[in-house]
Amino acid sequence: AQSVTQLDSQVPVFEEAPVELRCNYSSSVSVYLFWYVQYPNQGLQLLLKYLSGSTLVKGINGFEAEFNKSQTSFHLRKPSVHISDTAEYFCAVSEWKGSQGNLIFGKGTKLSVKP
């Protein structure tokens, strides 16, 4: 079974500083990877996804992630964060059990941006 590890449960950072949220996955076969964001009291929104092609993926709100197959990582980055980026961030990997597909989520990283 696939698994996703988000190494940091909380990441505090000052406004306009760069940030990296780390994600490692377990699969050794073709993978499809996602980052979702959950703003306070809201549902999950897709930030970006890696399906194939370029290993650098750009998403909404200035975020990007790099797929690194040799390190089985998919870290999320933003060069300059805003207060409004304060949210919970979830990394996920696609998994198939027979003919049924699903997403396996990490435990989430809480990004707190301080003024």
CA dihedral 81, 23, 48, 51 (to 10 degrees): 150
Residue 42 in contact with another protein, rule: CB under 8 A: yes
Residue 60 in contact with another protein, rule: CB under 8 A: no
Residue 72 in contact with another protein, rule: CB under 8 A: no
Contact stretch for another protein (CB under 8 A) within 17-25, 57-65, 74-82, 106-114: 106-114
d(CA 70, CA 56): 15
CB of 107 to another protein, least distance (A): 5
Count of positions (residues) in the chain:
115
- Please name which of 21, 24, 53, 52 lies closest in space to residue 37, comparing C-alpha atoms: 21
Residue 25 in contact with another protein, rule: CB under 8 A: no
C-alpha angle 85/32/53, rounded to 5°? Answer: 95
Instruction: Choose which of 8, 64, 66, 88 interacts with another protein (CB under 8 A).
Output: 88
Given the rule CB under 8 A, which residues bind another protein?
32, 34, 36, 38, 42-46, 49, 51, 88, 90, 94-97, 100-103, 105, 107-108, 110
